[in-house]
Amino acid sequence: PGFTVEAVAEIDSTNTELMRRARAGHTPPVLLVAERQTAGRGRLGRPWQSAQQGEEQGTASLTFSLGLPLAPREWAGLSLAVGVSVAESLDPTGAAKVALKWPNDLWVEDRKLAGILIETAMPHAGRADAPAPPRYLVIGIGINIGPREGDGMRTPPAWLRQWRPDATAPEVLAELAAPLVRSVQAFEAQGFGPFAERFAARDALRGRQVQLSDGSFGLCEGVAWGGELQVRTADGLQLVSSDEVSVRPS
Ligand code: BTN
């Protein structure tokens, strides 16, 4: 399907805007990109600070959201598939060491390069015996293009210009948008399966000691076929489906 691309100089948050439109009944396929966000949002209610304005436009960060109706059989693993697609676009050969930190941060040498925030607007209820109607999906992506201050993160972030000194936000968007749309469509048709090995190839946590939010520790054994994180703790193998997991400081 065709997408409209909309670019604005400033907005509160590209995710907030597409969710507002969806709640007002407006659910076309659209990609909304903003040069600046005044109230960018991250996962778990955290703010997503806009990077310092670069000297030239487009060198601070790339912030955009893709909105589209989607009706996969299973939702599990969608955010991982999105991470795989973005990581492969930014670092096709793996030379830049762009890794995936479950569930959907992009890391370079344990520093955060990009974050993904996926939200869905519920459809109007259909007939009970009808197949599930599509939900409107809003996939928000923020990528550090140039240097920025840490915003309360424990480690300073990574940025793309560390290995691509001339990269700009519009150029990066042009590279990753079409593969992202194709990946989301592949996910709708085939689920997480086609992405599982590609995630494993960039898994930042596998083989490392991690800490779960309840304080327990374990060895990360990678991602299961359903997209859950597998962690071997003192109580046995746990399948973690939504949690904040950190690398255990050594
Ligand atoms: C995270 O790291 O917790 C997710 C960060 C997601 C940031 C992007 S920037 C574009 C879109 N609009 C937002 O308000 N958030 C996402």
Q: What is the pLDDT of residue 156?
A: 80
58 close to 30: Cβ distance less than 8 angstroms: no
Atom of ligand 1 nearest to the CA of 37: 14
CA of 47 to the centre of ligand 1 (A): 8
Task: Compute the average pLDDT of residues 96-124.
Answer: 92
Q: What is the pLDDT of residue 207?
A: 96
Q: What is the pLDDT of residue 122?
A: 78
Atom of ligand 1 nearest to the CA of 43: 3
Tens of pLDDT, residue by residue over 134-150, are 899 999 999 999 986 65
Decide which of 2.30.30.280, 3.40.640.10, 3.30.930.10, 3.90.70.10 is the CATH code for 4-203: 3.30.930.10
68 close to 41: Cβ distance less than 8 angstroms: no
Residue-averaged pLDDT of the chain: 90
Q: What is the pLDDT of residue 201?
A: 97
Number of neighbouring beta carbons within 10 Å of residue 110: 14
CA of 39 to the centre of ligand 1 (A): 10
CA of 126 to the centre of ligand 1 (A): 31
User: What whole-number percentage of the chain has pLDDT above 70?
Assistant: 91
Q: Which CATH architecture has domain 205-250?
A: Roll (2.30)
Minimal-distance CA residue to ligand 1 atom 2: 115
Q: Which DSSP category does 189 fall into?
A: H
State the pLDDT confidence band at 74, using cuts at 50, 70 and 90.
confident
Say what the ipTM of the complex is: 0.99
* CA distance linking residue 176 with residue 198, whole number of Å: 16
Q: What is the pLDDT of residue 236?
A: 94
In a mutational test of the pocket of ligand 1, which residue from 20, 38, 141 has the highest number of ligand atoms less than 8 Å from its CB?
141
Atom of ligand 1 nearest to the CA of 114: 2
**Extents of the domains making up the chain:** 4-203, 205-250
Task: Compute the average pLDDT of residues 206-231.
Answer: 93
CA of 127 to the centre of ligand 1 (A): 34
250 versus 8: which is more confidently predicted?
A: 8
Strands 135-144 and 209-211: unpaired
Q: What is the pLDDT of residue 153?
A: 56
Output the ligand 1 site: residues, CB below 6 A.
Answer: 13-15, 37, 40-43, 46, 48, 63-65, 105, 115-117, 140-142
50 close to 37: Cβ distance less than 8 angstroms: yes
b/e for 5-42, b at 16 or more Cβ within 10 A? eeeeeebebbbbbbbebbeeeebeebbbbbbebeebbb
Minimal-distance CA residue to ligand 1 atom 16: 140
State the pLDDT confidence band at 129, using cuts at 50, 70 and 90.
confident
Is residue 124 pLDDT above 70, yes or no? no
Q: What is the pLDDT of residue 151?
A: 56
State the pLDDT confidence band at 49, using cuts at 50, 70 and 90.
confident
* CA distance linking residue 43 with residue 12, whole number of Å: 16
Atom of ligand 1 nearest to the CA of 34: 10
**What helix, strand, coil percent values describe the chain, rounded to 5?**
25, 30, 45
Residue 250 Cα distances to 98, 157, 209, 246, angstroms: 22, 20, 9, 12
Tens of pLDDT, residue by residue over 50-69, are 655 555 667 799 999 999 99
